[in-house]
Chain A
């Protein structure tokens, strides 16, 4: 019996093989969304727990990688929704190597705060599209929505950020 068939039938050894094959990739995707290594590790385990729980729904001729990424995205989204106001902001600063020195630390903090205050569904796609520069097609597949909807959510997130930053006096883009 093939590995995926054995997994779908509930074989724990097959599950372990799949876990070891895909844990790095699932973790790498989740950490891009939640931006915290410890939380990403816990969510990776949560993702594989869900994968094992719903194994009967997996078709052995299907794409396990895409299915795992979708479940991982859902787990990360659940985290963003419930932990927004509970966990401190991830430490993204010091910022990227190519950061413009003209952009002051205070302004960077305002940008980060505004970004992390976005509603979860917008923050999810905005993080992947604007910060991680993932393709709209990959984001759409992982989130389970159309590419057009990804584009709409990204644009709405940008509009919310722009409004928030302008209200804070950060004139990022001329109105």
Chain B
């Protein structure tokens, strides 16, 4: 059996167990929920993700505790 035939066979089998989604409209207007979320978590265009802050803190700590890496850092810049 070729890969395409196996995939086709599996597709037929899946159809017996999992239906495609037919109704595809939200049950309500989602705009009020959107506004509530924007109030709760303002989406500033330039918000800095937490992991960027964590990375900056790690880099700062590395420079403080291992100042010997500063020349190496400049070399690579």
Which of A's residues lie within 8 Å of B, judged by CB? Answer: 10, 16, 19-20, 23-24, 27-28, 31-32, 35, 37, 40-41, 44-46, 48-50, 52-56, 92-93, 95-96, 98-100, 103, 107-109, 111-112, 115, 130-133, 154-155, 158, 161-162, 172-174
Contact = CB atoms under 8 A, between A and B. Distances in A.
6 contacts: A24-B25, A24-B26, A28-B24, A40-B26, A155-B7, A174-B1
A108 B16 contact: yes
Interface residues of B, number: 33
Among B3, B25, B33, B43, chain A packs the most CB atoms within 10 A around the CB of B43
Contacts of B6: 155, 158, 162, 173
B34 A31 contact: no
Contact of A35 (B15, B21, B37): B21
B9 interface: yes
A37 B26 CA distance: 7
Interface stretch (B44-52, B56-64, B68-76): B44-52
A161 B16 contact: no
B65 interface: no
B20 A131 contact: yes
Contacts of A173: 1, 6, 9-10
Given A19-B34, A49-B37, A155-B3, A115 B14 contact: yes
A31 B20 CA distance: 10
A98 B15 contact: yes
Given A24-B24, A133-B20, A162-B6, A49 B34 contact: yes
Nearest to A154: B7
Interface of B: 1, 3, 6-7, 9-11, 13-21, 24-28, 30-31, 33-34, 37-38, 41, 43-47
A86 B18 CA distance: 20
A154 B8 CA distance: 11
B16 A100 contact: yes
A138 to B, nearest CB: 14
Contact of A56 (B11, B19, B45): B45
A98 to B, nearest CB: 7
A140 B11 CA distance: 19
